[in-house]
Amino acid sequence: MINMWIAIAAAAAIGITAIATAWAQARIGAAAAASLAEKPELTGTAIILVAIPETMVILGFVVAVLLILRAGG
Amino acid sequence: MIVPMTRVRILGPREQFESTIAAVQDFGKMHLADASPHAGVTPARLDARTERRRRYLLRLVDDIDEARRALRAPPSAAAPTRKRGPTPAELARWARLARRTREAAVALRERETSLQEERALLDRYREFLAAVLPAVRKVKDSPRLTSHAVVVPGSARAALAPLAAALRAELGAEFTMTTHALAGGDVAVLLVLPREFSAHLEERLAGARVPEVPLPAPFRDLPLDEAVPRMLVRLGAIPPELGEVAGERARLLAERGGELARARAAIGDWLAIATAHERGHVTAHAFAIDGWVPEPAFDELAAGIARASGPTVVVESVAREEWGAEDAPVALSNPRLFRPFEAMIALLPLPRYGSIDPTPFVAVFFPLIFGMILGDAGYGVVLAVVALTLHHRSQPGSMLRVVTEVAGPCAAFAIIFGVLYGEYFGDAARRAFGIPALLVDREQAVLAMLAAAVALGVVHVVLGLVLGAISMARREPRAAIGRGISAVMVVLVVAALLAAFDFLPARLFTPSVIGLLIAFPVLVFAEGLIAPVELLATFGNILSYARIMAIGTASVMLAVVANQMVGAVGSAAVGLMFALLFHLVNFAIGLFSPAIHTLRLHYVEFFGKFYSPGGTPYHPFRHGNGAAGLQPREVSR
């Protein structure tokens, strides 16, 4: 039973953060693409802005791994 | 590093103004600035005759540029070596050449565009026309029949069958209908019917809002049975005509391209001098030119001006106290090994003069982090081979050459980490030959990799804070102290945590905590109440390096799955093909994803601690920089 909850928690940790990242990147990516069409010199800034939300899913992944490895024994 | 600059001022008698500007252009290393304002000194103006000449030359440049564009001439790399402006005879010849070439080249371009549009239009119906040609010929042989071609929108396709049935019932066996789906989803329809019914059909089609095929203009008034064969013949004749246009353009380029390029460069030089002239300041008897030169080139400038203008023209260095660092132009100069990594700095605004050029740090940490993430000797070797191949095929100075030069060190680190992780195309070598990991098995030791990634984050971020402290020391001493204290606090927090979890001797815990308690108020004093929030953000930055582990683990898992396909999908050959395909996909992801994330770690986590953007690019006033000469006021204040 505990293992089931650990698995659900790990899935939630990565699933919710992945959805949040996808939502943020979709909006930022569209805006960045539009900006780059007019100002190609903003490439560096665009890369930064698009990559920033990925921190969420990466930290979600780390939490999921810790849950499985530590709590799951 | 950012090349140290010296602000220079050239002073001399008014009559030597022009010759001195020419000498500065010959020198080729001075970045012009507007002269400092002084009482009695006014900006230099071009006289009316020179201003007229400039307008004339700008029109000539417009003709040359348009002609070269129409001829698709490659960018000219040849810099003019002449030390004097073009003669009137040369200008007259170039003007005639440019005008004639522009007219011919633009006419060729318009003809080519027209042919391409005609071909695109005919191509659109080519299949349909070819399919209906037999039916059209049959109609031609029969004096009683006529043909109509119509296009029906895809959405009305369902109405065709009832329409055909109704017309067949009305007209009998002489009525036939041929349909053909067009690329855009519409349906082209050929109707063959008795000639006397033609007017009635057109009424019926008009009532049904079905448009007729819009034939190209030359064929619009011809009957379909004549138009179709002619259109097919015309379609075949267009490629040779396009070839003729291309041949004529190549001939023009070969005959006149070189002369036009030389003319463009020489005129660009003259225009650059005119712009430089306006940047100088004059009195009734003297002139002043201000600018910047790289520090080591100052003596060379002074010697060059003395040779060209004699002892009456003086080159002096402006004292450092008289100019602000933000005014100086920025040129980066790094060892050859580091130079390709300047391309990564070029994606951001230039660093300000007096701040730190991050290129050497990027050159070390970018390949290191990339290799740590990819971490596969097999993929590393493939990347090295691809990079070497492309390097040999690329032009020096091209973007492809830069990419391959960055890819080389990245491949080397990927191979090194691959050996340490024991990864050769995932676990392929371990499965086949039992080659173990020398340091850590990423597939199993996820937590160890997480710790290593965060440890690298600590080193990288603390280095960024230290660089920030050094960079700000002169301009913002309090902020510099804040950066330094932040770096110390990060180290103390890490030491306290390691001591608390017995990775360091427990006796270090108490001194670390005491150190933190002392450092905290100093930090708040130096950076204000926002400092604790920024310190927390710094720890967030460090945790962000966990992506090194996360992306690396995802990559190795994909490679392992690829290897498991061999033997899991029926025959070994099919499994091997799937495995190779999967490895190819993983390799592509393995190049793209680590590169983007490593860039992000640099731009956000590392640069955020010290990078100070806003530098003015260094544009020396020299020969062959004609385009810059056309842009007024493109140099710094």
- Over residues B551-584, the pLDDT tens digits come to 888 888 888 888 887 777 667 788 888 888 888 9
Check: CB of residue B180 under 8 Å from CB of residue B132: yes
HEC string of B235-295 equals HHHHHHHHHHHHHHHHHHHHHHHHHHHHHHHHHHHHHHHHHHHHHCEECCCEEEEEEEEEH
pLDDT of B501 higher than 90:
no
Cβ <8 Å between B603 and A61: no
**Which one of B443, B538, B544 would you mutate to disrupt binding with A, by most A Cβ within 10 Å of its Cβ?**
B544
Cα B234 to Cα B136, B174, B218: the distances in Å are 18, 31, 10
Is a pLDDT exceeding 80 seen at residue B622? Answer: yes
Which residues on chain A are in Cβ contact (under 8 Å) with B362?
A: none
- A4-17: average pLDDT: 92
Q: Parallel, antiparallel, or unpaired for β B329-330 and B616-617?
A: parallel
d(CA B205, CA B148): 11
- Token pair in block for residue B173: 């066996």
CA distance A56 to chain B (A): 9
Contact residues, chain A to chain B, C-beta under 8 Å: 43-45, 47-48, 51-52, 54-55, 58-59, 61-62, 65-66, 69
The answer to whether B564 and B476 are in contact (CB under 8 A) is: no
Tokens linked to A21: 């990242």
pLDDT tier for residue B153 given thresholds of 50, 70 and 90: confident
Task: Pick from A64-73, B66-75, B174-183, B220-229 the range whose average pLDDT is largest.
Answer: B66-75
Distance from CA of A38 to the nearest CA of B (A): 16
Whether the per-residue pLDDT at B633 is higher than 60: the answer is: no
Chain B residues touching residue A43 (CB < 8 angstroms): 347
pLDDT at B270 over 90: no
Which 8-state DSSP code applies to residue A67?
I
- Look up the pTM and report it: 0.72
DSSP letters of B58-121? HHHHHHHHHHHHHTTPPPP-PPP--SSPPPHHHHHHHHHHHHHHHHHHHHHHHHHHHHHHHHHH
Mean per-residue pLDDT, B24-47 = 79
For residues B599 and A47, the answer to whether their CB atoms sit within 8 Å is yes
How long is chain B? 637
Q: Evaluate the CA torsion angle B310, B312, B317, B323 in order and state its sign.
A: negative
d(CA B599, nearest CA chain A) in Å: 8
Please name the member of A51, A61, A62 whose beta carbon is closest to the beta carbon of B596.
A51
| pLDDT, position B83 | 56
Rounded Cα distance between B574 and B635, Å, is 63
Of the candidates A44, A54, A55, the beta carbon closest to that of B347 is on A44
- B447 vs A58, A61, A69: nearest CB: A69
Predicted confidence at residue B363, as pLDDT, reads: 94
What's the gap in Å between the CA of B550 and the closest CA on chain A?
6
Q: Which of B341, B342, B344, B347 to mutate to test the interface with A (most CBs of A within 10 A)?
A: B347
Q: Residue B86 and residue B517: Cα distance in Å, rounded? A: 74
Rg, chain B, Cα only: 37
Quick: pLDDT tens for B67-102: 998 988 887 655 555 556 678 888 888 889 999 999
- Mean pLDDT, chain B, rounded, equals 84
- What is the least distance, in Å, from the CA of B141 to any CA of chain A? 57
Residue B632 has pLDDT above 50, yes or no: no
**Of B301, B293, B291, which Cα lies nearest the Cα of B331?**
B293
Q: What is the mean pLDDT of residues B328-353?
A: 88
Question: Cβ contact (<8 Å) for B600 and A54?
Answer: yes
Q: What pLDDT was estimated at residue B206?
A: 67
Hey, what long-range contacts does B178-187 have (CB within 8 A, 24 or more apart)?
B178/B131, B178/B132, B178/B135, B180/B127, B180/B128, B180/B131, B180/B132, B182/B124, B182/B125, B182/B128, B182/B151, B183/B124, B184/B154, B185/B154, B186/B151, B186/B152, B186/B153, B186/B154, B187/B151, B187/B152, B187/B154, B187/B157, B187/B160
Residues of A in contact with B603 (CB under 8 A): 44, 47-48
pLDDT tens digits along B457-476: 999 999 999 999 998 887 88
Q: Which residue among B348, B447, B597 sits closest to A44, beta carbon to beta carbon?
A: B348
Task: Say how far apart CA B477 and CA B488 lie, in whole Å.
Answer: 17
pLDDT tens, residue by residue, B431-443: 888 888 888 888 8
Question: Are residues B17 and B319 in contact, defined by beta-carbon separation less than 8 angstroms?
Answer: no
What single string gives the DSSP state of each residue in B473-525? TTT-HHHHHHHHHHHHHHHHHHHHHHHHTTSS-GGGHHHHHHHHHHHHHHHHH
Residues 6+ apart with CB under 8 A from B223: B146
Cα nearest neighbour of B595 on chain A:
A47
When scoring A17, A39, A42, A59 by the number of chain B Cβ atoms within 10 A, the one with the most, hence best to mutate, is A59
Report the candidate in B336, B328, B333, B327 with the shortest Cα–Cα distance to residue B345: B333
Residue of chain B with shortest Cα separation from A70: B447
Residue B389 is predicted with a pLDDT of: 94
Interface probe, candidates A41, A54, A70, chain B, greatest B C-beta count within 10 A: A54
Our CA-based measurement puts residue A13 at a distance from the nearest CA of chain B, in whole angstroms, of 14
Q: pLDDT exceeding 70 applies to what percent of chain B?
A: 92
Q: Shortest Cα distance from A1 to chain B (angstroms)?
A: 25
Lowest mean pLDDT of A64-68, B148-152, B400-404, name the range.
Answer: B148-152
Per-residue model confidence (pLDDT) at position B465: 92
Specify whether the CB–CB gap between B178 and B130 falls below 8 A.
no
Which pLDDT band, with edges at 50, 70 and 90, does B514 fall under?
very high
Contacting residues for B330 by C-beta, under 8 A, at least 6 apart: B2, B3, B350, B351, B352, B353, B615, B616, B617, B618
What residue of A is the nearest CA neighbor of B548? Answer: A58
| ipTM greater than 0.85 | no
Query: Confidence class of residue A11 from pLDDT cuts 50, 70 and 90?
Result: very high
Q: How far is residue B342's CA from residue B346's CA, in Å, rounded to a whole number?
A: 6
| pLDDT surpassing 80 at residue B625 | no
Asked whether the predicted pLDDT for residue A24 surpasses 90, the reply is yes
Cα of A24 to nearest chain B Cα, Å = 16
Q: Do A51 and B604 touch (CB under 8 A)?
A: yes
- Residue A30: its pLDDT value, please? 92
Determine the residue of chain A that is closest to B344 in CA distance: A44
- Judge: A65–B446 Cβ closer than 8 Å, yes or no: yes
| Neighbour tally for B263: CB within 10 Å | 24
Of the candidates A45, A47, A62, the beta carbon closest to that of B546 is on: A62
Burial class (CB in 10 A: 0-12, 13-18, 19+), B232: middle
Contacts of B544 in chain A (CB under 8 A): 55, 58
Q: Residue B553: its chain A contacts at CB < 8 A?
A: 65
Q: Give the pLDDT of residue B420.
A: 93
Distance from CA of B593 to the nearest CA of A (A): 10
Instruction: Name which of B603, B605, B606 to mutate to probe chain A: the one with the most chain A Cβ atoms within 10 A of its Cβ.
Output: B603
Facing A52 at nearest CB: one of B553, B599, B604: B604
CA–CA distance, B377 with B379 (Å, rounded to integer) = 6
Predicted local confidence at residue B214, as pLDDT: 62
Pairwise CB contact (< 8 Å): B450 & A65: yes
Write out the residues of chain B at the interface with chain A, using a CB-CB cutoff of 8 A: 347-348, 446-447, 450, 540, 543-544, 546-547, 549-551, 553, 596-597, 599-600, 603-604
A-chain CB neighbours of B551 within 8 Å are 58
Which of the listed ranges B8-12, B380-384, B444-448 does the model predict with the highest average pLDDT? B380-384
| List of chain A residues whose C-beta atoms are within 8 Å of the C-beta of residue B606 | none
Residue B376: closest CA among B586, B163, B123: B586
pLDDT for residue B446 is more than 70? yes
Decide if pLDDT at B331 tops 80. Answer: yes
SS3 state of residue B629: helix
